[in-house]
Amino acid sequence: MASGKELCEGVEWRIRVVDGSSEVLVPPTGLARKVWLRTKGLISGLGMKVRMFLKQAWDMGANDPRKVIHCIKVGLALTIVSLVYFMRPLYDGVGGNAMWAIMTVVVVFEPTVGATLYKCLNRVCATCLAGFLAVGVHWIASQSGDRFEPFVVGASIFILASIATFSRFIPSVKSKFDYGAMIFILTFSIVAISGYRVDKLFDLAHQRISTIIIGTSLCIFVIMMVCPIWSGQELHSLTVRNMDKLSDSLDGCVTQYFTNSNGEDDQKLQGYKCVLSSKASEESMANFARWEPSHGRFNFRHPWKQYLKIGASMRSCAYCIEALNSCINSENQAAESIKKHLSTSCLKVSSSSSSAIKELAESVKKMNKSPNMDLLVEEMNSAVEELHNDLKSLSHLLNPSTTAENQISATGLVPFMEIIPVVTLASILIEISARIEALVGSVEELVEESEMKDKIVAKEEKPEGTMKALQRV
Amino acid sequence: MASGKELCEGVEWRIRVVDGSSEVLVPPTGLARKVWLRTKGLISGLGMKVRMFLKQAWDMGANDPRKVIHCIKVGLALTIVSLVYFMRPLYDGVGGNAMWAIMTVVVVFEPTVGATLYKCLNRVCATCLAGFLAVGVHWIASQSGDRFEPFVVGASIFILASIATFSRFIPSVKSKFDYGAMIFILTFSIVAISGYRVDKLFDLAHQRISTIIIGTSLCIFVIMMVCPIWSGQELHSLTVRNMDKLSDSLDGCVTQYFTNSNGEDDQKLQGYKCVLSSKASEESMANFARWEPSHGRFNFRHPWKQYLKIGASMRSCAYCIEALNSCINSENQAAESIKKHLSTSCLKVSSSSSSAIKELAESVKKMNKSPNMDLLVEEMNSAVEELHNDLKSLSHLLNPSTTAENQISATGLVPFMEIIPVVTLASILIEISARIEALVGSVEELVEESEMKDKIVAKEEKPEGTMKALQRV
């Protein structure tokens, strides 16, 4: 049969080779079809991608309407700054350099108040400094004669740009004045070099500064008046949210392990991963928050740096939860009897730890020291103590030389390997409780510092209050 | 006595109050001295700070001379672009808008080639797109009559700026075109609105595009010719360096624990913390690396994303090392006899694991599959097996019902609590070895993908090679 088929195919093949017309006809049909199919596939694929992209964008907007509001704010600020062009006196006032105001708005407008203020203040200060310096350098250059002028200007640009660029690498400068250093280079180069072509250099510097001030003040007005988003508030909420996640993950993991339930929400269990990955955003938020004036319950000079310490403490807990998770998913299954023996105390430790974290979250949220905190920590410690005792009594299950004979007869001896996962889990739980105590310490520091700052601010405001009262009299 | 003193002070006080001159004289001397002391303190404090700052800057430059080279490159690029001002024909060619070229250089010049290319390509494409669109919008606006022109222009700016700002929130756009979206808004606003005042709008758009092309091409030339720093190469070295650190930390911790030596270099032991904190920099480097043309051993389209997977695997190992460290520093001290019992196998696991990581580092460094890798993994697994057995036999130390009577008599029974730290350490070590196997998998994927890409590139280059050979003939 098989050989017959082969023969048949072979015959057909030879026929095709001989018959030229059929051979010529087939490939174009194939090609046209291929091209058509490929084009169709490409278009539908592209359509699919575009649809996915739009859906993603829509979901993002629906999940966080503040992003949409931010976009409208940018559009608004740009439309307002465009008025400079449409109003003759304003346009002439800045010597046709109105585009710098637009540029400022586009470049400076950030989603949060802190980031916008950081950029605005940096931009204004750096522009003023660089403008004055550039006018000075131009004066020196013009004194040195036509021949040397380009060299003096060129050398000054080279040196100052190099130094300013280098300063951007220094951590303390980078965190506070990175943008300012860039604007310094920009303005200095433009103003210094324009001196060679522009006659009224002082006017140029003046126009640049005034357009930038127009742009930045408009930005500050819009960002603070229309639904402001404060970096500080964001950092605060992120910290509270992360604490809740940490607490849910911890409790969820341990409960799932001891009750063998898979009903727990997986997203809830993985919440600690958010804590692990939020270092960068915490740092940038803390960085911007210190530029913000007092808002809501936060004064200017609120101890934002303390949030970073809390974040670090939370991450150190999250590392342990990661290790805990690996115990839970380990191949080495624990004996049920041992699990039962330790489950009560382990669950007690995890629930008391997680309620301690929840209380901490509440304490941060309300920014006051919780009266229950000491009690909860004590409860956690007593649960840990209980777990210690249970671990000690575990040896009775393995070591009949002690007195607890009756216990053994009830549960039977178990192989040592089968107690390892539970023991590891228990000791990681104990470690987590120690780390939670460190977390309690850093939260208390935050609350104390914030209360202290509040008092200082209240004191500083008092004399002003008296002054106002006097004026009214 | 006490009342006498009080009386005496009281008398003195009254004398002072009566004697006006002495009362007036004392405070100024105190005040002057105070002011002098405070000024002196302030100046010396400021001097100290400045000295510290300069030292920090100097150390930074000495530790990484490439930063200094980058600064010189920025200075160089700016000085070259200034030539546009000094050369009449060039200056007139761009209609006095030469400052845009300077602006481009300042804004676009980044330390690595990838980051600079990303910004350059984004800037050029976004400027072209926005320029054409703005000229179109201006044409439509001018057709709608003088009265409606400002409204058409304003509305188009509002809508396009809002949409472009929104797109910057979408992750896929943010990672590739964030800067482009900003430049799009900038150019569109400037060109569209200038149409209201500037007569030759097409010239303005043309000048903006050509100055930006001058600036970007100069930047690309300087960044690639003068000691280039490639993001890809940096990411590659960072990955190799982190692997070495991970391996050193792992081995160092376990050795320190079992040999009770404190001679280990603390910095070496804490190396794993670098792995924990390098996520953000890995991501940004991988992001920029894909813009880079082929350099060194890396082709364009080198699988940079795979480095992120390797980074994640390394971090999952580092989490475990963190947990390991907490066991080592735990208050609960382990019994020496148990430590001795497990030390050989634990040390074997840690040394074989750390040499496996070292070999992986070597494999990534040379970008080929190491022939010893399988052997090393096998060795690690057999060490883990041995540790398993040692753990099993540990029960004999606690449970005399088994046959190993002589072992017990040699070591004696130990309380169960004293074995917990060692058991926890051992089980974390076993978990680490499992995670190292995952790391091996992701490194092998990287090597395979990179070899595959190499082959594709070689194939693609082959026809060209033949073409060249033909041309030469």
Residue B295: name the closest of B356, B213, B245, B233 by CA.
B233
Contact A316 B322 (CB under 8 A): yes
By C-alpha distance, the chain A residue nearest B191 is A99
Answer for the pair A342, A392: CB distance below 8 angstroms, yes or no.
Answer: no
In degrees rounded to 5, what are phi and psi of residue B333? -80, 140
Residue B462 corresponds to which amino acid?
K
> Looking at the partner chain, which of A56, A279, A424 has a beta carbon nearest the beta carbon of B277?
A279
Residue B142: name the closest of B200, B196, B205 by CA.
B196
Answer for the pair A98, A155: CB distance below 8 angstroms, yes or no.
Answer: no
Average pLDDT rounded to a whole number, residues B436-444: 92
Contact A197 B96 (CB under 8 A): yes
Q: Give B-chain residues touching A69 at CB under 8 angstroms.
A: none
Q: Give A-chain residues touching B82 at CB under 8 angstroms.
A: 153-154, 157, 189, 193
Instruction: Please state, in angstroms and rounded to a whole number, the distance separating the CA atoms of residues B16 and B177.
Output: 77
Residue A85: name the closest of B470, B60, B154 by CA.
B154
How many residues can be counted in chain B? 473
Q: Give A-chain residues touching B415 at CB under 8 angstroms.
A: 392, 395
> Looking at the partner chain, which of A53, A186, A327 has a beta carbon nearest the beta carbon of B103?
A186
Q: What percent of chain B has pLDDT over 90?
A: 40
pLDDT at B111: 92
Residue A55 corresponds to which amino acid?
K
Higher per-residue confidence, B158 vs A28:
B158
Q: Give B-chain residues touching A159 at CB under 8 angstroms.
A: 75
Size of interface A-B (CB pairs under 8 A): 231
Confidence band of B462 (pLDDT split at 50, 70, 90):
low
pLDDT at A379: 92
Contact A103 B61 (CB under 8 A): no
C-alpha of B424 from chain center = 33
Give the gap in angstroms from C-alpha A300 to the nearest C-alpha of chain B.
25
Instruction: Please state, in angstroms and rounded to a whole number, the distance separating the CA atoms of residues A175 and B54.
Output: 17
Lowest pLDDT segment from A180-189, B22-31, B255-264, B367-376: B22-31
pLDDT tens for B42-80 read: 999 999 999 988 998 899 889 988 999 999 999 999 999
pLDDT at B398: 62
Higher per-residue confidence, A457 vs B468:
A457
Residue A244: name the closest of A370, A364, A325 by CA.
A364
Contact A99 B194 (CB under 8 A): yes
Average pLDDT rounded to a whole number, residues B301-326: 91
User: Residue A22 to residues A14, A121, B389: CA-CA distances in angstroms?
Assistant: 12, 78, 74
Residue B272: name the closest of B442, B431, B432 by CA.
B432
The tokens 């808002």 sit on which residue?
Answer: A295
In a mutational test of the A interface, the residue from B67, B78, B185, B388 whose CB has the highest number of chain A CBs within 10 Å is: B78
Contact B86 A161 (CB under 8 A): no
> Looking at the partner chain, which of A162, A326, A426 has a beta carbon nearest the beta carbon of B74?
A162
Please state which CATH number belongs to domain A231-396+418-457. Answer: 1.20.58
Residue A79: name the closest of B256, B344, B165, B468 by CA.
B165
Helix B113-143 to helix B201-225 angle (10° resolution) is 180
Helix A113-143 to helix A99-108 angle (10° resolution) is 140
Instruction: Please state, in angstroms and rounded to a whole number, the distance separating the CA atoms of residues B264 and A113.
Output: 48
> Looking at the partner chain, which of B154, B182, B417 has a beta carbon nearest the beta carbon of A391?
B417
Contact A85 B395 (CB under 8 A): no
DSSP string computed for A368-399 = S--TTHHHHHHHHHHHHHHHHHHHHHHHHHH-
Instruction: Please state, in angstroms and rounded to a whole number, the distance separating the CA atoms of residues A354 and A249.
Output: 9
Contact B420 A413 (CB under 8 A): no
Domain spans of chain B, in order of start: 65-225, 231-396+418-457
Phi-psi map region of A109: left, alpha, beta (phi>0 left; psi -120 to 50 alpha): beta
Contact A67 B169 (CB under 8 A): yes
Q: Give B-chain residues touching A85 at CB under 8 angstroms.
A: 193-194, 196-197
Average pLDDT rounded to a whole number, residues B258-279: 81
Instruction: Please state, in angstroms and rounded to a whole number, the distance separating the CA atoms of residues A104 and A211.
Output: 8
pLDDT tens for B237-264 read: 999 999 999 999 999 888 888 887 766 6
Q: Give B-chain residues touching A71 at CB under 8 angstroms.
A: 161-163, 165-166
DSSP string computed for A94-148 = TTT-THHHHHHHHHH--SSHHHHHHHHHHHHHHHHHHHHHHHHHHHHHHHT-TTT
Q: Give B-chain residues touching A322 at CB under 8 angstroms.
A: 316, 319-320, 323
Contact A417 B172 (CB under 8 A): no
pLDDT digit of tens for each residue in chain A (473 aa)?
A: 344 444 434 334 444 444 444 444 444 567 888 899 999 999 999 999 999 889 988 998 899 899 999 999 999 999 988 887 777 777 777 766 788 888 999 999 999 999 999 999 999 999 999 988 998 998 888 888 888 888 888 899 999 999 999 999 998 899 999 999 999 999 999 888 887 766 677 787 888 888 899 999 999 999 999 899 999 999 999 999 999 999 999 998 888 888 877 666 777 888 899 999 899 899 999 999 999 998 888 888 889 999 999 999 999 999 999 988 888 877 667 778 888 888 889 999 999 999 999 999 999 998 888 888 889 999 999 999 999 888 888 766 664 443 333 444 344 567 777 788 888 888 899 999 999 999 999 999 999 888 887 777 777 655 544 444 444 43
Lowest pLDDT segment from A301-315, B23-37, B280-294: B23-37
Alpha helices of B226-298 — where are they, by DSSP H?
Answer: 231-259, 266-269, 272-276, 279-289
Contact B415 A395 (CB under 8 A): yes
Average pLDDT rounded to a whole number, residues B423-442: 91
Residue A322: name the closest of A267, A276, A263, A358 by CA.
A276
Phi-psi map region of B109: left, alpha, beta (phi>0 left; psi -120 to 50 alpha): beta
Average pLDDT rounded to a whole number, residues B110-118: 94
Q: What is the DSSP letter of A417?
A: G
Instruction: Please state, in angstroms and rounded to a whole number, the distance separating the CA atoms of residues A411 and B418.
Output: 23
Answer for the pair B94, A174: CB distance below 8 angstroms, yes or no.
Answer: no
Q: Give A-chain residues touching B311 at CB under 8 angstroms.
A: none
> Looking at the partner chain, which of A71, A76, A398 has a beta carbon nearest the beta carbon of B399?
A398
Contact A153 B197 (CB under 8 A): no
In a mutational test of the B interface, the residue from A49, A185, A198, A433 whose CB has the highest number of chain B CBs within 10 Å is: A185
What ipTM goes with this model? Answer: 0.81
> Looking at the partner chain, which of A78, A91, A316 has a beta carbon nearest the beta carbon of B161?
A78
